[in-house]
Amino acid sequence: MKQENVDCSYTAFHKKQRPRNLYPTEWVLRTLQGKYPGLSFDKSKYVGGRMLDMGFGDGRNWPVLNDLGFEIHGVEISEDILAIGRERASQIGIPVTLKVGRNNSIPYNNSFFDYILACHSCYYVDGGTSFDDNVKEYARVLRPGGWMFASLPEKHSSICDGMHQLSDGHVEITKDPWGLRNGYVFRIFESEDEIRNAFSGYFDSFSIGLCCDNYFGIRINLYIAVCRRKENVIA
């Protein structure tokens, strides 16, 4: 599928939705605020930390990020999505800085961010690039010692039904239960080790969770990866 078509489908989706109220994503709340035996990172330094909400969509996680004290920046794929986001941010009175960019091309300087949230977004792979390019770009804009929080699709999710296998864990989506992402290339994962391998060039200190839901016949299985930008590797 051509890149423009992919971008148009999400821009049209966000333009059409425009809900009155938005609710945060459960794994984001649990990860940033909860205490779990296998989750380990320093939650004491949020206030004033620069947070990139990558592929922020409708901005549903901004109230949580704002309540926790982050300085919020957001990147999305089109000016139209930014305009909707700016309107939402001004309605709810939350300061955000929004820019157009992509997973493999984030319009910020090296080491700018203390944190990156990629809620259902970092595994979208543009034509002619690979997931490795996304990981490298995330590592470039995250300061050494900064933290990344990402959801990643597990291969038994319904979104993977009928997928066309490409190389290195990349797949083309053909049977999106919501009909939105057909033709997109995703990086999907089968195990925690596969996640560690994909990120370990630039990240360490992994905490990995797995949420498996079955919403009346639609399986939504997501790994949650928390990891720290390595100190001595240049991206």
Ligand X SMILES: C[S@@+](CC[C@H](N)C(=O)[O-])C[C@H]1O[C@@H](n2cnc3c(N)ncnc32)[C@H](O)[C@@H]1O
Which residues form the interface with ligand X (CB under 6 A)?
A: 10, 25, 55-57, 60, 76-77, 81, 102-103, 119-121, 124, 126
Name the minimum Å distance from CB 184 to ligand X: 7
Joined tokens for residue 222 = 């997501």
Closest distance to ligand X from the beta carbon of 104 (Å): 7
Nearest approach, Cβ of residue 193 and ligand X (Å)? 25
Shortest Cβ distance from residue 153 to ligand X (Å)?
10
113-118 β-sheet, strand order: 96-100, 71-76, 50-54, 113-118, 142-153, 218-229, 203-215
Q: 106 or 208, CB closer to ligand X?
A: 106
Kindly state the tokens that stand for 194: 């596969």
Nearest to ligand X of 151, 207 (CB atom): 151
Rounded to whole angstroms, the Cα distance separating 186 from 166 reads: 10
Task: Tell me how far apart the alpha carbons of residues 192 and 197 are, in angstroms, rounded to a whole number.
Answer: 9
Which of residues 59 and 146 has its CB atom nearest to ligand X in the complex?
59
Give the residue with the Cβ less far from ligand X, 99 or 143: 99
**Residue 75 CB, nearest approach to ligand X (Å):** 7
Question: Of 120 and 144, which CB lies nearer to ligand X in the complex structure?
Answer: 120
With a CB cutoff of 8 Å and minimum separation 6, the contacts of 40 are 205, 207
Of all residues in this chain, which one has the CB nearest to ligand X in the complex?
A: 57
Q: Are 100 and 107 in contact (CB under 8 A)?
A: yes
